């Protein structure tokens, strides 16, 4: 083969490679392909109502994914978010029940404050108690949920007791997009800019890529890790308040088990569980992909009992493919370097 031919092939590969390597692009492609296929098989997949439901379904998970991304970037993990959501969701509900006429914003602020306080418990134990995040947040997952159960104990907040203006956040739309989704999109933009442009944001990446080097570079690792868990707590508190707006009914079990969906979304979205790699946009796209996928299973009338297995297989496929592409990329760049 001539040199020219070789370079054309290489060029082609480079272009495709860049596209595939950009996690966000490949996620968007996957989402589009999945949507198109499902829509051909069942044209109501893209009906306005089903799109609205899809956006609402993904919103709260996507919101939590923002906080989790910051954590995982630093090679940490936060399992306790689902319990924080449970507590703050019920807290928001009881505020409406016990203080009729309380402004919505005050309720949201209190929920966020509670989330911050619970996040501070994690932050203190991890940053200053020197307990690994996995253990701390597994522990607080139990403790916060236990406290939630002990406090709520079979009570329930019903939609009747929540003002319509608050529930509207979970139902009404603006420019065809639900308000709840707008909130997530705005926060996504803020997080994305913050992580990319600001020093603090870059430091999160530095800590995850190489904690030792981060210390040597003069980054206050403890403080950044603590900040991360505070952010995660705040986000979970906000998600709790929005949970109430979305579902209207809240009991002690609100949010149970969503920590796994959130982590799964984050990982599928290309945030490496080993830290330092990934973007919030990718992570939110990961959440969207999983949501579209489970919606597809419903539309294609896959029996309920098969859905869990499909979702597990999907996660494995996503991370395996990711590793494969990264591996090939690494091999190719090694080859390229050897030519130089």
Partner 1 sequence: MSENESSTRRLARRLSWEAILGALLLIAISGGGFINKDFLTAENWANLLANFVEIALMALPLSLIVITNEIDLSVASILGLSSCLLGLLWEFKCPMPAAIVICLFAGALCGALNGFLIVRFRLPSLAVTIGTLALFRGFAFILLGDTAVADFPPEYAAFGLGVIAHTFVPAPFAIFIFLAIVFWVVLHHTTIGRSLYSVGGNQTAAFFSGVNIHRLKMLLFICSGTISALAGIIYTFRFSSSRADNGTGFELSAIAAVFLGGVMVQGGKGTITGVVLSLLLIGIINNVLTLADVSNEILRIVTGSLLILSVLLPNLIASTRERWRFMRRQREIAAPV
Partner 2 sequence: MNNPMNQSITIKIAALILSLTILGTTSHGEEKEIKKGLKIAFVPKNINNPYNVIETGGSMVACKEMGVEGKVVGPSDPSASSQVSYINTLITQRESAIVLAANDPNALIPYLKRAMDQKIKVVTMDSDTAPEGRSIFVNQATSEGIGRGQVQMLAKEINNQGEIAILSATPNATNQNTWIKFMQEELQKPEYKGMKLVKIAYGNDEDQKSFTETQGLLQAYPNLKGIISPTTVGVAAAARYLSTSPLKGKVALVGLGTPNQMREFVKDGTVKEFALWSPADLGYLAAYAAAQLASGNIEGKEGETFTAGKLGSRTIGKDGVVILGPPTVFTAENIDQFNF
Q: Can you tell me the distance from the alpha carbon of 171 to that of 259, in angstroms, rounded to the nearest whole number?
A: 24
**How far apart are CB 152 and partner 2 at their closest, in Å?**
7
- Per-residue HEC secondary structure of the chain comes to CCHHHHHHHHHHHHHHHHHHHCHHHHHHHHHHHHHHHHHHHCHHHHCHHHHHHHHHHHHHHHHHHHHHHHHHHCCCCCCCHHHHHHHHHHHHHHHHHHCCCCCHHHHHHHHHHHHHHHHHHHHHHHHHCCCCHHHHHHHHHHHHHHHHHHHHCCCCECHHHCCHHHHHHHHCEECCEEHHHHHHHHHHHHHHHHHHHCHHHHHHHHHHHCHHHHHHCCCCHHHHHHHHHHHHHHHHHHHHHHHHHHHCCECCCCCCCHHHHHHHHHHHCCCCCCCCCCCHHHHHHHHHHHHHHHHHHHHCCCCHHHHHHHHHHHHHHHHHHHHHHHHHHHHHHHHHHHHC
Among residues 302, 196, 242, the alpha carbon closest in space to that of 58 is found at 242
315 binds, among partner 2, partner 1, none (CB under 5 to 8 A by kind): partner 1
**Which residue number, 89 or 195, has a Cβ lying nearer to partner 2?**
89
Q: Which of 55, 77, 152, 289 binds partner 2 (CB under 8 A)?
A: 152
Among residues 320, 208, 323, the alpha carbon closest in space to that of 274 is found at 208
User: Which residue is associated with the tokens 């790699």?
Assistant: 277
Please identify, among the stretches 107-115, 217-225, 278-286, 294-302, the one whose residues bind partner 2 according to the rule CB under 8 A. 294-302
Please identify, among the stretches 93-101, 158-166, 203-211, 309-317, the one whose residues bind partner 2 according to the rule CB under 8 A. 158-166
273 binds, among partner 1, partner 2, none (CB under 5 to 8 A by kind): partner 1
Q: Can you tell me the distance from the alpha carbon of 5 to that of 20, in angstroms, rounded to the nearest whole number?
A: 22
199 binds, among partner 1, partner 2, none (CB under 5 to 8 A by kind): none
With contacts defined by CB under 8 A, how many residues of the chain interact with partner 2?
Answer: 32
**How far apart are CB 158 and partner 2 at their closest, in Å?**
6
**Which residue number, 192 or 265, has a Cβ lying nearer to partner 2?**
265
156 binds, among partner 1, partner 2, none (CB under 5 to 8 A by kind): partner 2
Q: Check residue 298 for interaction with partner 2 (CB under 8 A).
A: yes
Q: Which of residues 230-259 bind partner 2 (CB under 8 A)?
A: 247-256
**How far apart are CB 59 and partner 2 at their closest, in Å?**
13
Q: Under a CB-based contact definition with an 8 Å cutoff, are residues 92 and 107 in contact?
A: yes
Q: Check residue 136 for interaction with partner 2 (CB under 8 A).
A: no
Please identify, among the stretches 156-164, 211-219, 261-269, 320-328, the one whose residues bind partner 2 according to the rule CB under 8 A. 156-164
Binding mask of the shown chain, residues 77 to 96, with x at each position contacting partner 2 by CB under 8 A: --------------------
**Which residue number, 97 or 326, has a Cβ lying nearer to partner 2?**
97
**Which residue number, 62 or 121, has a Cβ lying nearer to partner 1?**
121
**How far apart are CB 305 and partner 2 at their closest, in Å?**
8
**How far apart are CB 138 and partner 2 at their closest, in Å?**
17
What residue ranges bind partner 1 (CB under 8 A)? 77, 125, 129-132, 134-136, 138-143, 145-147, 149-150, 153, 260, 263-264, 267, 272-274, 305-313, 315-316, 319-320, 323-324, 327
**How far apart are CB 86 and partner 2 at their closest, in Å?**
11
User: Which residue is associated with the tokens 């689902």?
Assistant: 82
Q: Check residue 158 for interaction with partner 2 (CB under 8 A).
A: yes
Q: Which residues bind partner 2 (CB under 8 A)?
A: 44, 49-50, 53, 57, 149, 152-156, 158-160, 171, 247-256, 295, 298-301, 304-305
């Amino acid at each position: 083969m001539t040199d020219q031919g070789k370079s054309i092939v290489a060029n082609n590969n480079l272009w495709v490679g860049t596209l595939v390597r950009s996690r966000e692009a490949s996620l968007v492609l996957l989402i589009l392909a999945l949507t198109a296929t499902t829509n051909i098989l069942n044209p109501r997949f893209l009906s306005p109502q089903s799109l609205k439901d899809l956006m609402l379904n993904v919103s709260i998970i996507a919101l939590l994914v923002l906080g989790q991304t910051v954590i995982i970037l630093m090679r940490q993990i936060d399992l306790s978010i689902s319990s924080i959501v449970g507590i703050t969701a019920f807290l928001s509900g009881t505020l409406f029940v016990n203080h009729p006429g309380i402004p919505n914003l005050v309720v949201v602020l209190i929920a966020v404050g509670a989330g911050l306080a619970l996040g501070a418990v994690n932050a203190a134990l991890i940053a200053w108690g020197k307990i690994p995040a996995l253990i701390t947040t597994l522990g607080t997952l139990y403790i916060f949920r236990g406290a939630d159960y002990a406090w709520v104990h079979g009570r329930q907040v019903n939609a009747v007791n929540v003002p319509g203006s608050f529930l509207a956040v979970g139902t009404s739309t603006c420019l065809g997009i639900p308000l709840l989704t707008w909130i997530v999109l705005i926060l996504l933009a803020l997080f994305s800019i913050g992580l990319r442009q600001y020093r603090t944001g870059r430091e999160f990446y530095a800590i995850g890529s190489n904690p030792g080097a981060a210390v040597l570079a003069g980054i206050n690792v403890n403080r950044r890790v603590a900040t991360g868990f505070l952010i995660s707590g705040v986000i979970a508190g906000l998600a709790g308040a929005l949970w109430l707006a979305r579902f209207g009914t809240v009991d002690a079990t609100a949010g149970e088990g969503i920590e796994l969906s959130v982590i799964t979304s984050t990982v599928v979205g290309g945030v490496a569980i080993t830290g330092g790699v990934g973007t919030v946009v990718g992570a939110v796209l990961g959440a969207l992909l999983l949501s579209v996928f489970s919606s597809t299973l419903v539309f294609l009338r896959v029996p309920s009992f098969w859905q869990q297995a499909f979702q597990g297989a999907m996660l494995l496929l996503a991370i395996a493919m990711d590793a494969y592409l990264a591996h090939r990329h690494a091999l190719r760049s090694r080859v390229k370097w050897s030519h130089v």
